[in-house]
Amino acid sequence: MRAVRMTAPGVLEQVQVPTPTPGPGEVLVRVGAVGACHSDLHILDAPPGVFPTPITLGHEIAGTVDTLGDGVTGWSAGERVAVYGIIGCGTCRGCLRGRENQCRTVPVGGIGLSRDGGLAEHVVVPASRLLPVGDLELTQAAPLTDAGLTPYHAIELARPVLRPGTSVVVIGIGGLGHMAVQILAATTAVRIIAVDSNVAALDLATRVGAHHVVPAGPDTVERIRELVGPAPDGADVVIDCVGVDATLTAARDVVATGGRLLLVGLGGGTMPVRPVADEPPTVPLETSVEVPFWGTRAELQEVIALGRAGLLTADVQTFPLERAPEAYDLLRAGEIHGRAVIVP
Ligand code: NAD
Ligand code: ZN
Ligand code: ZN
């Protein structure tokens, strides 16, 4: 079969590989769609040894059931499925509580991260990773598994402060951010303020439900402050889907006392946290800083329900498998709006 693999650190290329065979408890899925996540660029850029090579990338997968491994029941060929990408150990405290995204044995283990992913005609996954998607388009189902699930999980963490009329700032309206705006619009009654350095991303934010848009630049904090008021008031929740120094600083500078900073983007920036009471602290008092990772299987089921109800729709640009490397180049150049989805 054809597969797009990271053959060495930083090298992405299309190759021919044998079609894999599902082992006991596994299922061979015919890949229908796979999202190109910005995290794949971080994987490509990671130092040698952090991720295995060669590896087929692609952790945002939807497709149809093909062949069942020994002992698998409850699935039949042709069923349309989304793949939950995390594979926890199943026995640690995090996994036992249904929070495989908090696995203490395999912290970043999963399909397309620590074993072959979905940028291929087929992928083998444990049967327990499959969720039915009904008649949802597979190009829609794929982005739900990460671009949808990750902000959904982050928003769940902040649920107690997402009261009607409060303000939420979403920074970075790309694959994750444009889904975050829709999840907020569909499940809360908050005022949504979208921030991005790209004008097309801000247009998308408005189309999917943001109430205000703010271009990222030297006066971002001032512009947001005009909307949310002066400190110690501010945005009750800030979801940073970029995570570079500039966005982390802006996030910290606009969050309200008692608010939540949800640091979703893995852009390599740093946020100093200096708890003091006698001078302005770096992060307002009573404010939580959280670093959410992906989400749980139960949350993915809820995200799929939002998608099937027409409340969460990825803005998708499709590419055939042989153009996957080009799609990642465009993503790196900031020329993908919404989500690039590869159709093998
Ligand atoms: P993306 O490339 O689709 O979107 C990024 C958006 O941020 C773009 O619209 C871009 O214009 C904007 N942007 C870039 N720099 C900016 C700046 N300085 N100020 C304002 N806006 C800026 O990326 P994505 O796939 O949505 O992923 C976003 C981040 O989230 C990545 O770092 C990715 O690795 C990370 N991620 C984290 C998790 C997790 O579990 N925590 C899961 C998936 C992705
Ligand atoms: Zn991802
Ligand atoms: Zn575990």
Residues 160 and 118 in one domain: no
Residue among 61, 56, 59 at smallest CA distance from 5:
56
Choose the residue to mutate in 102, 206, 242 for probing ligand 1, maximizing ligand atoms within 8 Å of C-beta: 242
The CA distance from 294 to 60, in Å, is 11
For ligand 1, is residue 241 a contact (CB within 6 Å)? yes
Q: Is residue 171 part of a domain?
A: yes
Residues 114 and 157 in one domain: no
Residue in the block written with tokens 């006066």: 219
> pLDDT tens across 268-318, in order?
999 999 988 888 789 999 999 999 999 999 999 999 999 999 999 999 999
Q: What domain range is 264 assigned to?
A: 149-290
Residues 194 and 253 in one domain: yes
For ligand 1, is residue 153 a contact (CB within 6 Å)? no
Tally of domains within the chain: 2
> pLDDT tens across 305-317, in order?
999 999 999 999 9
Residues 33 and 125 in one domain: yes
Question: Cα of 36 to ligand 3 centre, how many Å?
Answer: 26
Q: Is residue 231 part of a domain?
A: yes
Q: Is residue 270 part of a domain?
A: yes
Residues 6 or more apart in contact with residue 128 via CB below 8 angstroms: 25
CATH number at residue 223: 3.40.50.720
ipTM summary value: 0.99
Q: Is residue 143 part of a domain?
A: no
Residues 6 or more apart in contact with residue 174 via CB below 8 angstroms: 38, 196, 201, 241, 336, 337, 338, 339
Bridge partners of 191, per DSSP, are 167
For ligand 1, is residue 175 a contact (CB within 6 Å)? yes
Residues 159 and 36 in one domain: no
For ligand 1, is residue 327 a contact (CB within 6 Å)? no
Residues 92 and 163 in one domain: no
Residue with CA closest to ligand 1 atom 44: 39
Q: Is residue 139 part of a domain?
A: no
Q: Is residue 116 part of a domain?
A: yes
Q: Is residue 182 part of a domain?
A: yes
Question: Cα of 100 to ligand 2 centre, how many Å?
Answer: 15
CATH number at residue 326: 3.90.180.10
Q: What is the pLDDT of residue 102?
A: 96
Question: Cα of 90 to ligand 3 centre, how many Å?
Answer: 5
The CA distance from 292 to 69, in Å, is 33
> pLDDT tens across 90-132, in order?
999 999 999 999 999 987 789 999 999 999 999 999 999 999 9
Question: Cα of 254 to ligand 1 centre, how many Å?
Answer: 19
Q: What is the pLDDT of residue 293?
A: 97
Residues 128 and 153 in one domain: no
Residue among 248, 286, 249, 250 at smallest CA distance from 264:
248
Question: Cα of 282 to ligand 3 centre, how many Å?
Answer: 34
**Which ligand lies nearest to the CA atom of residue 34 in the structure?**
2
Residues 161 and 253 in one domain: yes
Residues 127 and 157 in one domain: no
For ligand 1, is residue 293 a contact (CB within 6 Å)? yes
Residues 112 and 170 in one domain: no
